[in-house]
Amino acid sequence: MNRHQLVQIGRIVLSFLFIFGAISKLISMPFFDGMVAELFLGKDYFDNPSGMFWVQWLTRILVAAELVIGIALLQSKWFKNIVVPATLITLVLFTIHLFYEGFRQENGFIEGNCGCFGDVLPMTNLESIIKNIIGMALGIYVWLKYQKEDQFGSWVSPTLIGLVTLFTLNFGIKSYVSSATPAVVEDLAIIIDSIPFIDTIPVPDIEEITVKDLIEAERTDKEENSIPTPTSDIDQPEEIVTETPVVTKTPSDKTIELLNTYAPALQSLNLSSSTKLICLFSMTCSHCQEVYRDLSAMKASGKLPNIYLVNYGSEYEQNYFFTQAGNSEDPHTLIEDFTSFKRMLEGKTYPRLLYIKNGKTLKEWDVDSYDRASFMKYYGIEKLEEKKEGGLQLELNSGDSPW
């Protein structure tokens, strides 16, 4: 392989890393916002709305700059004087930051997610440092060996950008195939199949059939097929029609049924006769991580009910979630099917918290209604206990600030 080919390969690899990193952050901006906010504002960054405003500006500038560098590496104007030096400076600054994060936290090099590729492809600080060192070596080689004849054809830049974009977006594809069907629909299908006159009824979709429709159809069938009987002057007793009582399920019943159907592990909790705080979390959601940090700190009060987590994501993402939330692992079950998780949310947005007592949902919160102060007030918790940085000591913090 000659010098010309090596220089072009080096440029393509560097461009891929920058464009992939920019688009990965772009499609997981809440996660990236949370990482940068925690760095500059601390763990309670959601309590600082003005700071969050400027953090969001900063994260978008970083993503735009990364994307510009990735595209500039595929063209030739000011390549040696500006583009390659800017690439190397960016890699050096990011690497310094990674070393800082690695030394600042316990196991900081081998745990957590550096955020280089958002939450699309989690990498530890050590893995990202190795990636950056390889990138710097390629950048130095390209800078030293680049010549004017190493230019790309006009088709290379748009083609590579399109392929990298498609490659990155593929990480966000979720499965919509559900392996389970709600039990209530199966029961309704069995009832319909057992009715003898069902063939005479114009049947709509199964989800549109109600008990009222079936009773009305039965009456119509009896009237059309009945044989007239002779009448007499003697008054006939009125026919008493007895309708089968319809049991209406409450919202709590439906919620518990969905939880038991799509998270079978919850059946062992017997939610109809116990008290639990069921938390539905997405493993790559920064809001979910913040809420779970709060719950972990509130448990010391002894006023929270037993917590059970229904986690959506992969095993790797779950390990990262618990690490970010302080390694406070409560009993949990992992759901990898996106459709099942969405059905349990019942149209709400995660995080979703359900306070269930003896089969009744007494209170629930989601991302729009959760507020740390009001949540603590509901359970009568006056102080929030949190771990100090780098130690196991506890300090008391007020819960007055909203999340």
129-166: pLDDT as tens digits = 999 999 999 999 999 988 877 777 777 778 888 888 88
Over residues 57-101, the pLDDT tens digits come to 999 999 999 999 999 998 888 888 899 999 999 999 999 999 988
Select from 105, 123, 109 the least CA-distant residue to 39: 105
- 17 has pLDDT over 90: yes
Where do the domains of the chain lie? Answer: 3-172, 252-398
End-to-end CA distance of the chain: 57
Task: Answer for the pair 139, 7: CB distance below 8 angstroms, yes or no.
Answer: no
**Tally of helices (H runs) and strands (E runs) in the chain:** 13, 7
Specify the pLDDT at position 392.
33
For a pLDDT cut of 90, what percent of the chain falls above it? Answer: 31
Q: Report pLDDT for 91.
A: 94
**Looking at the chain, how many residues does it have?**
403
- What pLDDT is recorded for position 295? 92
Alpha-carbon span 398 to 293, nearest angstrom: 15
Could you give the CA distance from residue 353 to residue 258 in angstroms, rounded to a whole number? 15
pLDDT over threshold 80, residue 311:
yes
pLDDT confidence bin for 324, thresholds 50/70/90:
confident
383-387 and 394-398: which strand pairing? antiparallel
Q: What is the largest CA-CA distance in the chain?
A: 116
Query: Could you tell me the pLDDT band of residue 46, with boundaries at 50, 70 and 90?
Result: low
d(CA 276, CA 356): 5
Per-residue confidence (pLDDT) for residue 377, from 0 to 100: 92
At 251-301, the pLDDT tens digits run 888 999 999 999 999 988 888 888 999 999 988 787 888 899 899 889 888
- Tokens standing for 246? 């319809």
Whether omega for the bond prior to residue 204 falls within 30 degrees of 0, making it cis, is no
Name the band, by pLDDT with cuts 50, 70 and 90, for residue 348. Answer: confident
Q: Tell me: pLDDT of 113 over 60.
A: yes
In CATH terms, the fold of domain 252-398 is: Glutaredoxin (3.40.30)
**Bigger pLDDT: 181 vs 240:** 240
Distance, in Å, from the CA atom of 150 to the CA atom of 246, rounded to the nearest integer, reads 78
pTM of the model: 0.53
112 touches 324 (CB < 8 A): yes
Supply the pLDDT for residue 347. 82
Residue type, 298: M
Q: Where are the alpha helices (DSSP H) in 42-124?
A: 49-72, 84-104
Identity (one letter) of the amino acid at 214? L
- Amino acid in position 114: C
Task: Quickly state the pLDDT bin for 186 (edges 50, 70, 90).
Answer: very low
Coil/strand/helix, residue 154: coil
Query: What percent of the chain clears pLDDT 70, i.e. is strictly above it?
Result: 75
The region that residue 332 occupies, defined by phi over 0 for left and psi between -120 and 50 for alpha, beta otherwise, is: beta
pLDDT of residue 228: 55
Q: How many CB atoms lie within 10 A of CB 12?
A: 17
Mean pLDDT of the 397-402 span: 42
Per-residue pLDDT tens over the stretch 20-41: 999 999 888 877 888 888 888 8
Instruction: Tell me phi and psi for residue 126, to 5 degrees.
Output: -65, -45
Mean pLDDT is lowest, of 121-135, 340-354, 385-399, for: 385-399
pLDDT-based confidence at residue 119 (cuts at 50, 70, 90): confident
Q: What is the pLDDT of residue 202?
A: 54
**pLDDT value at position 379?**
93
